[in-house]
Structure 1
Amino acid sequence: MIVVALVAGLVIGFFASRKYMESYLQKNPPINEQMLKSLMIQMGQKPSQKKLRQMMNAMKTTYDK
């Protein structure tokens, strides 16, 4: 009985934490436009607003999958 309860708790905990992390990452993406701009400057590229939007949209579609 204890083993069954432990396994059920682990399974429920895993799926609950996975759902929480997915919703957290959708609300707070790990990279924003300002961070992307600074990365491009560090790489020696001159970031244009169009290029920044394209890269953000590409990352957003990757997160949605």
Structure 2
Amino acid sequence: MLTIILVAIIALLAGLAAGFFIARWYMKKYFEENPPISPDMIKQMMAQMGQKPSQKKLNQVMSSMKAQQKKKK
């Protein structure tokens, strides 16, 4: 009886640990492929700050964001 309980607890802990690392890996991959900030969102934020967003400025901001993501790896 004691061995069944110990095996169940060990299996539960192993499952939780594996689930955590799999979920973490999946979310990292998802956010690399689908960044949470789009060019339209940047354009909207710049307009709210009183700046007139040009395509050149949007491209600069997006490229700097991508460079920051690569540095974090």
Indicate whether the TM-score tops 0.5: yes
> In 2, distance between residues paired with 1:61 and 1:46?
24
Runs in 1 of length 4+ with deviation above 2 angstroms? 61-64
Q: 1:12 aligns with which of 18, 22, 46?
A: 18
Q: Which has the higher contact order (CA 8 A, sep 6+)?
A: 1
How far has the Cα of 1:19 moved from its partner?
A: 0.8
Q: 2:55 aligns with which of 42, 49, 53?
A: 49
Q: Greater CA radius of gyration, 1 or 2? A: 2
RMSD: 1.1
> In 2, distance between residues paired with 1:4 and 1:62?
40
Identity score, percent: 54
How far has the Cα of 1:7 moved from its partner?
A: 1.0
How far has the Cα of 1:58 moved from its partner?
A: 1.6
Q: Deviations over 1:7-54 (max 9, x none)?
A: 110110001001111111112110111110111001101112222111
Count of residues in correspondence between the two structures:
65
Give structure 2 stretches of 5+ with no counterpart. 1-6
The normalised TM-score by structure 1 is 0.87
Which secondary structure does the structure 2 equivalent of 1:12 belong to? helix
The normalised TM-score by structure 2 is 0.79
Partner of 2:4: none
